[in-house]
């Protein structure tokens, strides 16, 4: 592929030489979009039947159907018998409606549902038997080829643990005295969306003795019908009929994605994905995002030549200021810029001849499914083999970020452990030149001389430019965006910080010994002097800090908030803190429980949330981490990692300042904080280059007390790999150049199939958070188990 050619199908043309510009308004994330419906009522559509379902031409309930209805309504019927009666009723209706289809429609549906020729092709509802501890498992499920899923211990109408990739419909059957049918059904829908990237939308059903209700779930959200009495079965018939013949604009399936069965029907599937006219197989589902909103899904696939590629799907609002593909095209404008994931194709997803578009609820914009093909991959920082490897990746991340900032005028705005990868695996693609703006990376500095430009590759990979913005776009930079645990404090609050930490500066660090020599050999003395503060000068990083007493500052004259380069560096800092607190030194004893010091820090980090409309600086608790004195940082680490603790303490003194309060004169350097942190990392690497701390990537330090920390805790803000793939056991998945993949070691219990961890990268507008403790926990990035 020619370096100046990148296919972006279905979009307006874009020139490399121009910065991405558009008159489209920005896509904003609100609490209601990114947080789910577990604790809040769903939208009730009084005309649900007409708006979301297709009614059969004719339907007459038989005597056997009415007998099943009577059993469901009978108050003395236990719920086991009620489930059996519900399955019998649904199967009778399903078979009747399937037989009413035209031969051509029936044949088309048979092929889509993979029903062998000559076998019953109707949707079959069976009892999905699960253990009591497996919360939120659907009680009845609709499947095709039900006999294929029968296990040795299964009986007629009852199956054990049907894998999600084989489920087509979800049903909850509840007695009168029970509540929570909606929550449990929506939770099941959540899991179904995660496990079925080929199913953008799903219909669910809630059954109680006095009524039944249909639920529709797609990327725009969840809508429910009014409660319908059992004397009227028209809604129920339409619910089933719509599985065979959905409304015209209702896309239940994405024909460009399909599962490929494993050795047995219960084995996790692989995926086939069609992209820019080609079919890619052996696809692994690496990440599946929150289902109501963008629903980002990432596959690692293989082409016919055996080369791997990353495919990223996202349901985007059609009205968007800067789309990720345009940002990536701009960054790689004069050739590939090392360290930034590379795009090879982007375009809308079609099923048949139609784009996969889902209409709005209320005043929300429609969402359209878009796909990108990306070339590069990498691993999580917590998979580092040595501390030096991890710090080299962080150093290069800052170098990549400052290069994109200076040369492309772009801010990432969502730097986190999810989007910073190490040990990058760069696809070998012919015909792509290297950018002339490629900087020197840590290997060049430590090596004493620059490598040839074509060989100048970093130790990192920066991915996910979904929220990137041009630095000239002031309106966009006023928005708050990021991942809760890693978002900069000012960005989380949407205001300039004014406290005893934010007004205290620290002069630019000076390098000593071999670090000073290697720096000036690589970058030159002029660059070193350009960032230095003069000895005895009151300046810090080239600017003059305000009064050291925040009480002396007029709060009414605070500068307006906007996203600054220092905020992205702070996000990298929180990422570094997270990773270094998690990694396990190979030579040290494994920690089975948290120390009091570690427990306090993790509680602060994992409980952080992005506040809504009514907030003040007291909502930001991470000051408690940044205000720790040297000894308190040392207390967080064992003897092997004491110098690492000192490094974090020194970096913290530079990152915690609020540089928007500084008085800048002359020629301020927008990447001054990058420089400070990189110098401190370089000094550490030079001082420890002969004795790097070996790490055990297969084991991580805990983040929760032992009573709640069963096995290694998954990385916050990401989805369980085992749940996404419908499997259990211990797995280690590599992270990829298009989003978050899962950390390994999710636990070996069968119940882990149903564990879910919230994906909560968000941009909040001026809406209040839900009044729900679950939302606050979810916003922190901590594990969330829907109830």
SS (H, E, C) 172-225: EECCCCCCCHHHHHHHHHHHHHHHCCCCCCEEEEEEECCEEEEEEEECCEEEEC
Quote the pLDDT of residue 110.
Answer: 87
pLDDT band at residue 21 using 50, 70 and 90 as cut-offs: very low
Average confidence (pLDDT) over 568-589: 97
Query: How far is 586 from 611, CA to CA, in rounded Å?
Result: 39
Cβ neighbours of residue 173 closer than 8 Å, sequence gap 6 or more: 72, 79, 82, 83, 86, 139, 140, 207, 208
Quickly state the pLDDT bin for 9 (edges 50, 70, 90). very low
Give yes or no for residue 783 having a pLDDT over 50.
no
Alpha helices in 532-641 (DSSP H): 565-582, 596-606, 623-626, 630-634
| Residue 134 tokens, joined | 């497996």
Per-residue pLDDT band for 24 (boundaries 50, 70, 90) equals very low
- CA gyration radius, the chain: 28
Q: Of 83-97, 160-174, 659-673, give the lowest mean pLDDT range.
A: 160-174
Is the pLDDT reported for residue 743 higher than 70?
no
pLDDT at 450: 93
Cα–Cα distance, 287 to 297 (Å, whole number): 6
Structure tokens at 124: 């079959």
Two tokens, residue 387: 């501390």
Is residue 579 within 8 Å of 391, Cβ to Cβ? no
Q: Using pLDDT thresholds of 50, 70 and 90, give the confidence band for residue 134.
A: low
Quick one: pLDDT band at residue 319, thresholds 50, 70, 90?
low
- Residue bearing the bigger pLDDT, 377 or 24: 377
Region 586-601: mean pLDDT is 92
pLDDT at 562 over 80: yes
At 414-450, the pLDDT tens digits run 999 999 999 999 887 777 889 999 999 999 999 999 9
Instruction: Check whether 34 has a pLDDT greater than 70.
Output: no
Residues 382-419: tens digit of each pLDDT = 999 999 999 999 999 999 999 999 999 999 999 999 99
Q: What is the mean pLDDT of residues 90-115?
A: 91
For a pLDDT cut of 70, what percent of the chain falls above it? 79
pLDDT at residue 738 greater than cutoff 70: no
Using 50, 70 and 90 to split pLDDT, how confident is the model at 500?
confident
Which has more confidence, 337 or 785? 337
pLDDT at 776: 24
Amino acid 782: pLDDT: 29
Of 218, 487, 248, 271, whose CA–CA distance to 351 is shortest?
248
Each residue of 620-637: pLDDT tens digit? 999 999 999 999 999 999
Q: Beta partners for 139?
A: none
Q: CA 192, CA 211: separation in Å to the nearest integer? A: 24
pLDDT, tens digit, 9 for 90 and up, residues 267-318: 889 999 999 888 999 999 988 888 998 899 999 998 877 788 899 999 988 7
Tokens of 759: 């994906």
What is the average pLDDT across 481-493? 95
CA atoms within 13 A on the CB side of 464: 26
Of the pLDDT bands very low, low, confident and very high (cuts 50, 70, 90), residue 117 is confident
Span of 90-99, 439-448, 545-554 with lowest mean pLDDT: 545-554
pLDDT class for 515, splitting at 50, 70, 90? Answer: very high
Q: Could you report the per-residue pLDDT of 680-727, keeping only the tens digit for each?
A: 999 999 999 999 999 999 999 999 887 544 433 333 223 222 222 232
Q: Which residue has the higher pLDDT, 430 or 136?
A: 430
Range with the poorest average pLDDT among 17-26, 71-80, 277-286, 564-573: 17-26
- What 3-state class would DSSP assign to 461? strand
What is the C-alpha to C-alpha distance for residues 765 and 768, in angstroms, rounded to an integer? 9
Q: How far is CA 119 from CA 35, 146, 264, 473, 616, in A?
A: 42, 11, 20, 60, 64
pLDDT computed for residue 132 by the predictor: 52
For residue 581, the number of C-alpha atoms closer than 13 Å in the C-beta half-sphere is 29
């Amino acid at each position: 592929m020619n370096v100046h050619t990148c296919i972006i199908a279905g979009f307006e043309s874009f020139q490399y030489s121009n910065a991405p510009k558009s008159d489209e308004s920005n896509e904003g994330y609100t609490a209601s979009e990114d947080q789910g419906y577990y604790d809040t009522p769903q939208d009730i559509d009084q005309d649900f039947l007409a708006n979301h379902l297709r009614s059969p031409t004719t339907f007459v309930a038989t005597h056997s159907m009415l007998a099943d209805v009577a059993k469901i309504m009978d108050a003395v019927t236990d719920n086991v018998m009620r489930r059996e009666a519900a399955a019998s009723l649904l199967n009778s209706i399903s078979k009747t409606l399937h037989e009413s289809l035209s031969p051509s429609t029936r044949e088309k549906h048979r092929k889509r549902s993979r029903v062998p020729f000559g076998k019953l092709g109707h949707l079959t509802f069976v009892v999905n038997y699960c253990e009591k501890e497996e919360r939120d498992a659907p009680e009845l499920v609709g499947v095709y080829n039900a006999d294929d899923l029968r296990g040795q211990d299964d009986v007629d109408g009852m199956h054990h643990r049907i894998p999600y990739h084989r489920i087509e419909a979800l049903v909850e059957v509840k007695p009168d005295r029970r509540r929570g049918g909606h929550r449990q059904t929506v939770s099941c829908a959540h899991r179904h969306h995660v496990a079925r990237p080929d199913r953008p939308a799903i219909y669910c059903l809630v059954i109680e003795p006095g009524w039944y209700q249909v639920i529709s779930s797609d990327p725009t959200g969840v809508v429910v019908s009014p409660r319908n009495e059992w004397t009227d079965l028209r809604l129920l018939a339409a619910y089933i009929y719509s599985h065979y013949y959905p409304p015209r604009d209702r896309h239940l399936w994405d024909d460009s994605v399909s599962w490929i069965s494993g050795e047995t029907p219960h084995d996790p599937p692989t995926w086939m994905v069609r992209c820019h006219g080609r079919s890619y197989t052996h696809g692994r589902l690496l990440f599946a995002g929150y289902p109501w909103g963008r629903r980002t899904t990432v596959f690692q696939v293989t082409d016919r030549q055996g080369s791997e590629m990353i495919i990223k799907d996202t349901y985007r609002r059609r009205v968007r200021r800067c789309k990720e593909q345009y940002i990536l095209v701009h960054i790689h404008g004069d050739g590939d810029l090392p360290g930034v994931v590379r795009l090879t194709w982007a375009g809308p997803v079609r099923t048949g001849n139609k784009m996969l578009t889902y209409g709005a609820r209320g005043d929300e914009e429609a969402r359209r499914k878009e796909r990108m093909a990306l070339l590069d991959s990498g691993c999580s920082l917590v998979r580092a083999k040595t501390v030096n490897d991890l710090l080299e990746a962080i150093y290069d991340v800052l170098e990549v970020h400052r290069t994109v900032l200076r040369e492309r005028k772009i801010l990432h705005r969502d730097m986190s452990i999810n989007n910073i990868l190490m040990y990058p695996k760069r696809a070998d693609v012919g015909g792509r030149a290297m950018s002339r703006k490629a900087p020197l990376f840590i290997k060049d500095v430590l090596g004493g001389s620059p490598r040839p430009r074509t060989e100048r590759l970093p130790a990192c990979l920066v991915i996910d430019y979904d929220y990137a913005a041009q630095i000239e776009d002031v309106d966009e930079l006023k928005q708050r965006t990021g991942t809760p645990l890693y978002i900069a404090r000012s960005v989380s609050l949407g205001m300039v910080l004014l406290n005893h930490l934010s007004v205290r500066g620290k002069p630019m660090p000076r390098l000593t010994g071999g670090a000073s020599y290697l720096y000036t050999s690589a970058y030159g003395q002029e660059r070193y002097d350009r960032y230095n503060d003069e000895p005895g000068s009151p300046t810090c990083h080239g600017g003059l800090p305000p009064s050291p007493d925040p009480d002396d500052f007029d709060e009414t004259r605070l500068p307006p908030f906007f996203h600054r380069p220092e905020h992205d560096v702070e996000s990298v800092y929180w990422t570094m803190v997270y990773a270094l607190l998690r990694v396990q030194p190979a030579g040290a004893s494994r920690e089975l429980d948290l120390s009091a010091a570690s427990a306090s820090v993790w509680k602060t980090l994992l409980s952080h949330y992005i506040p809504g409309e009514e907030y003040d600086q007291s909502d930001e608790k991470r000051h408690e981490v940044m205000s720790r004195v040297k000894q308190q940082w040392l207390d967080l680490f064992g003897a092997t990692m004491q110098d690492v603790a000192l490094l974090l303490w020194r970096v913290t003194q530079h990152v915690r300042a609020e540089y928007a309060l500084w008085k800048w004169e002359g020629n301020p350097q927008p990447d001054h904080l990058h420089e400070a942190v990189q110098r401190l990392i370089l000094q550490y690497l030079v001082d420890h280059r002969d004795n790097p701390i070996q790490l055990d990537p297969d084991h991580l330090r805990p983040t929760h007390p032992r009573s709640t920390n069963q096995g290694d805790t998954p990385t916050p803000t990401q989805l369980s790999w085992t749940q996404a793939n419908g499997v259990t056991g211990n797995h280690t998945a590599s992270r990829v150049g298009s989003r978050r993949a899962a950390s390994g070691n999710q636990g070996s219990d069968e119940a882990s199939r149903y564990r879910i961890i919230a994906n909560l990268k968000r941009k909040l507008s001026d809406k209040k958070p839900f009044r729900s403790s679950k939302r606050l926990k979810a916003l922190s990035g901590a594990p969330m188990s829907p109830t």
